Amino acid sequence: MRHARPSDYNFAVGLSLMHNLLTSLMPKWRRIFIAAFSLGALWLPATPALADFTIVGGQSVLSGNTITTSARLGLAISGEPEVALSKGIGLTLVIRSHLYRASLASWYFKIAEWEDQLLLEHHSLSNRYTLTNLGTNITEDFATLAETFDFLGQYTQAVTLPSGVSANDALQMRLQVSLSRSALPGPLKLVALVLKDWRLASDWEHWKVTTP
């Protein structure tokens, strides 16, 4: 004869308490409770996806009133994003750069930020890829996705030093590249919220702003 284990008993008690709680609630509040519980379960932290976007290294040089940043980006897509791209759905890559300045307490605070948005598309008729800078509307054309990422991997940006900032200040540039899920078409945007294939973002990398 099988004897009930303590864990079985505790589980049964837990179910009974939950059932009693739901039964005791008014119908309206019961629906709210179930909805809140379900939403909480949906947004539990998921296992992080393997990082397909990385920043291999970079430097920022201040010359005159211009900060020129050069960085090597490691980019790759696979899984659902690659399938979507092959079916004609454009993917928007976002490169964010933040400028920080050291305070008297030796910690850094952000003083400026910039963002480049680049639309990656595949054209089935020509079987070619295009990369469009949405800020300048300049489009580059490539034969393969690898060539596209090789081109984008050599990232360069020139920005103007913000007013009130001196070349003598201790400055630090921070950079990140990510896939914009908010730019996806409506139905796919909802799917991208839960599938880890779409969580493509590098860590924030940083380095000192130097002078020649």
Q: What is the pLDDT of residue 24?
A: 52
Q: What is the pLDDT of residue 202?
A: 97
Is the pLDDT confidence value at 7 over 80? no
Q: Is residue 130 very low, low, confident or very high in pLDDT (cuts 50, 70, 90)?
A: very high
Mean pLDDT score across all residues of the chain: 82
Q: What is the pTM of this model?
A: 0.74
DSSP of 43-69: TSPPPPPPP-EEEEEEEEEEETTEEEE
Q: Hey, where are the domains in the chain?
A: 6-42, 53-210
DSSP secondary structure code for residue 197 in this structure = G
What residues does 113 pair with on adjacent strands? 98
Q: What mean pLDDT comes out for the span 150-159? A: 96
Task: Look at residues 52, 61, 73, 54 and name the one whose alpha carbon lies nearest to residue 151.
Answer: 73
Q: CA-to-CA distance for 144 and 104, rounded, in angstroms?
A: 50
Q: What mean pLDDT comes out for the span 186-193? A: 87
Q: What are the pLDDT digits (tens) for 13-69?
A: 343 444 454 455 445 444 443 333 333 333 333 334 444 899 999 999 999 999 999
Q: Is residue 154 very low, low, confident or very high in pLDDT (cuts 50, 70, 90)?
A: very high
Is the pLDDT confidence value at 128 over 60? yes
In the chain the beta strands, taken as DSSP E runs, fall at 53-63, 66-75, 91-102, 108-123, 128-133, 138-142, 154-160, 171-179, 205-210
Half-sphere exposure at residue 92, Cβ-oriented, CA atoms within 13 angstroms = 15
Is the pLDDT confidence value at 194 over 80? yes
Q: What mean pLDDT comes out for the span 3-20? A: 44
Q: What are the pLDDT digits (tens) for 61-117?
A: 999 999 999 999 999 999 999 999 999 999 999 999 999 999 877 789 999 999 999
Provide the CATH number for the domain formed by 53-210 in this structure: 2.60.40.10
